[in-house]
Structure 1
Amino acid sequence: MPELETRLAREREGLLDAIEQPPLERIGARAAGIRHRRRARRAGAALAVVAVAGFAVLRPWSTDQEPPGVADPSPSPGVVYTDAGITINGLTGDGYLDPRGWITDVEFADPDHGYALVQCRAGEDPCPPSLARSSDGGTTWALATMPPAQGPGLDLTAFADGRVVVGGYVTSDGGRTWQATSRPDAPATSVATGQLLRLGGGAVEVWSSVYGNRGELVQQPPGMTVDWVAGAPSATGAWWVGGTRDGRPAVAVTRDGGSSWQVHPLDATGRTAQVSVLGEHVYATVLGADRAISAVFLSTDSGQTFTRTTSGPVATPDGLAGEAVPLLDGRLLVTGTDGKWYVSADDGRTFHQADGTLPQVGPIFRTPAGYIVRDLFGSGWAAFSADGSTWRKLQVN
């Protein structure tokens, strides 16, 4: 049947010619890009070694030398992680700043200008701390000059006027130059606009962008043992603190810069209390052993009166990792000590896990410019959010 075989062969060739071939060149280029990004994400420790070697030459220990940030000239869209209305926008492109160590503190002076302090952990080979800065909301980062004297336990504080305090030094030009802070002789009688309250040695301290730590506030919350201070004032300028009074959980607020305090004892069993504010809604979360949520209280009149929303200890999550975040849609967001995300639609009575593609997570902290979440993916990444719902993974680690 030679004629039949010849005819079938011709028809097969014609059929193959009629089928439109895929754009193999474009697909190959895309696949190569995907493989490159996967290798960049999976390399982990190997990338850290390479990055350390590269940045060792560029690390600016003098004020006249400053390396550029790491940026992709045409960044590809990042991976988006989401569930239950919570969205984390991942890295864009393949470039990120990778100084030696781990992020130990992150602050944003405003939604654009952020700073990350990177240090080696205890038990690791010692390394000098690094300070990274961003002026585009955390998309690109550059190393800044560290202050000349550094000791253990460094932290950083960013102020709305653009100044940053690290240790006992302050910079007003994004970490290019530093000046030693000097505490004024006069006691801190109040916290002015632009200044911050912080916890230090069991007392409420005043921090200034000019002087750094100004010392303990003269008028402390009466009768309270304070072990938590809000990271930022409310929209009306009120400052909240939490702790205990007469062995019971309590919160307190000052609306006149610390000259006077209103103390609210909370009728619940616990070791401390924290506060989260959005508009006139003020949530007070009572924490017990291992940071288990013992009770949640809600005020709808800016903290004049509180009503308990829970009938007993909250079963889920096992413990609160950082601070609760009131969302614009009326829900309450928390991260648990189990590394998971949880939301409550009933003012903290019950919490449900937000899973989907959301990564493992650490604690959330309030800052003057928004919220910071730490230890994303269990590997030291951080993210910033202005509202608690939409987050940007910071391209530094």
Structure 2
Amino acid sequence: MPDLETRLARERDGLLDAIEQPPLERVGARATAIRHRRRARRVGAVLAVVAVAGFAALRPWSTDQKPPPVADPSPSPGVVYTDAGITINGLTGDPILDLRGQVTDVDFTDPDHGYALVRCEDGSTPCAPSLARTVDGGLTWARATLPPTADADLDLTAFPDGRLVVAGYVSTNGGETWLATTRPNGAATAVGAGQLLRLGGDTVEVWSSMFGYRGELVKQPEGMAVKWVAGAPTATGAWWVGGTRNGAPAVAVTRDGGRKWTVHPLGATGSTAQVAVLGERVYVTVLGAEREISAIYLSTDSGQRFTPTTAGRVAPPDKLAGEVVPLLDGRLLATGADRRWYLSDDDGRTFTQADGNLPAVGRIVRIPAGYVAFDLFGSGWTAFSVDGSTWRKLQVY
């Protein structure tokens, strides 16, 4: 009789034989499939990381910045004209308001709200003047009405409070309706907040958004024949004027609304002088009878003391069209009578012509809300800029 150990061994073998064995081939195949799926997941995760990294490389924003907005379905912008840091954004797909005549005056009360006066100046095809207004910085324009006047010398003046004055009439609703202003009883004591100084003959006048022309200032710059008045006060409320004193160029400034003036005679030859201000830097451009630049002066203390930056006539530009513009990067921008753009990086000692694809241009004028460039392309287009560097071609013609 087998011993206990032998009997247990036999029973164990029998039990194992009785148990059904799993299909090893299918188990192996399933294990292989599981390994393949796991490997595929790991590869997919790696590819996803690489894809994200590649996308980030193509879209250069950092993780703490928002991605660019979805493209605007509106019509794409037109040509952009640029060189030497000066950019003019061309016409967009928005409609152009085509009025009969040529834009002769543009004024903005703020960067969004502006007006354009259109007239037939050449006399070959007489037409009634027209007025247009914009509420989006010059992208779109609509017709406005003009006051009932036959005055041929229309003067457009827009005020910071939104009111508009044209030829003795004032509008408080963007040129929809007009009220005749009353004539002043006498000279104005000072220029108040929201009022403007304007040139009248050889004197300084005060204009109000409530009444238009308010009369000459009681106190004029002593001994000066004023030939130029700034288009806007400085950030501190100072007003600058230019002209001659005893036959020589001079500038003057009032810091109390015209009650008192400080006159600065200039040791240069010329017929008049103009001022451009940015912060504490005050530039004076002395002009000859043909608007040639005779000298440029600079003050770095808000006009307390001036130092000439030039030793004689500045050329190019041969003649200055409009006003010099001090840019935020420290340069000076000027346009010449040759319809070219010029830039100076040495405070007006020398100027270099900007080319690129910048169009021909006429004069640049300072207004309270920025600057206006006239006669772009030599065909009557205009452009508006807040800072003198980036311009918008106005879609009114």
For Structure 1 versus Structure 2, the TM-score category normalised by the shorter chain is 0.7 to 0.9
CA deviation string 1:141-190 (max 9, x = no partner)? 00001111232111100000000001111100001110001123253000
Residues 210-229 of structure 1: matches in 2 within 5 Å? 210-229=210-229
**2:355: which partner in 1?**
355
**2:153: which partner in 1?**
153
**2:273: which partner in 1?**
273
| Runs of 4+ residues deviating >4 angstroms | none
CA deviation string 1:233-274 (max 9, x = no partner)? 000000000000011100000000000000000111111000
Distance 2:150 2:231 in 1: 24
CA deviation string 1:185-221 (max 9, x = no partner)? 2530000110000001211000000110101111000
**1:91: which partner in 2?**
91
Distance 1:295 1:81 in 2: 30
Q: What letter corresponds to residue 229 of structure 1 in structure 2?
A: V
**2:122: which partner in 1?**
122
User: 1:382 aligned to 2:382?
Assistant: yes
**1:392: which partner in 2?**
392
Q: Secondary structure at the match of 2:194?
A: coil
Distance 2:127 2:290 in 1: 32
Q: What letter corresponds to residue 195 of structure 2 in structure 1?
A: Q
CA deviation string 1:352-391 (max 9, x = no partner)? 0011010000000000000001000000000000000000
Distance 2:283 2:140 in 1: 35
**2:138: which partner in 1?**
138
**1:105: which partner in 2?**
105
Q: Secondary structure at the match of 2:321?
A: coil
Cα pair 2:364 2:374 within 8 Å, conserved: yes
- Superposed displacement of residue 127, structure 1: 0.9
Cα pair 2:219 2:260 within 8 Å, conserved: yes
- Superposed displacement of residue 94, structure 1: 5.7
Q: Secondary structure at the match of 1:362?
A: coil
Cα pair 1:115 1:132 within 8 Å, conserved: yes
**1:192: which partner in 2?**
192
Distance 1:347 1:125 in 2: 44
Cα pair 2:385 2:392 within 8 Å, conserved: yes
Distance 2:183 2:145 in 1: 23
**2:372: which partner in 1?**
372
Q: Secondary structure at the match of 2:117?
A: strand
Distance 1:190 1:108 in 2: 24
CA deviation string 1:274-327 (max 9, x = no partner)? 000000000000001310000000000000000000011102111000000000
Distance 1:159 1:94 in 2: 27
Distance 2:230 2:396 in 1: 26
The answer for unaligned runs of 5 or more in structure 2 is: 1-72
Q: CA RMSD in A?
A: 1.0
Q: What letter corresponds to residue 152 of structure 2 in structure 1?
A: P
Distance 1:162 1:289 in 2: 37
**1:284: which partner in 2?**
284
**2:260: which partner in 1?**
260
- Superposed displacement of residue 126, structure 1: 1.4
Q: What letter corresponds to residue 204 of structure 2 in structure 1?
A: V
Distance 1:369 1:275 in 2: 17
Q: What letter corresponds to residue 195 of structure 1 in structure 2?
A: Q
Q: What letter corresponds to residue 373 of structure 1 in structure 2?
A: A
Alignment length (residue pairs): 325
**1:318: which partner in 2?**
318
Cα pair 1:362 1:374 within 8 Å, conserved: yes
**1:298: which partner in 2?**
298
- Superposed displacement of residue 95, structure 1: 1.9
Q: Which has the larger radius of gyration?
A: 2
Q: Secondary structure at the match of 1:215?
A: strand
Cα pair 2:94 2:140 within 8 Å, conserved: no
Cα pair 2:165 2:171 within 8 Å, conserved: yes
Q: Structure 2 length normalisation: TM-score?
A: 0.81
Distance 1:299 1:191 in 2: 25
- Superposed displacement of residue 135, structure 1: 0.3
Q: What letter corresponds to residue 322 of structure 1 in structure 2?
A: G
Distance 1:367 1:378 in 2: 21
Distance 2:317 2:122 in 1: 29
**2:80: which partner in 1?**
80
Distance 1:133 1:101 in 2: 16
Q: Secondary structure at the match of 1:374?
A: strand
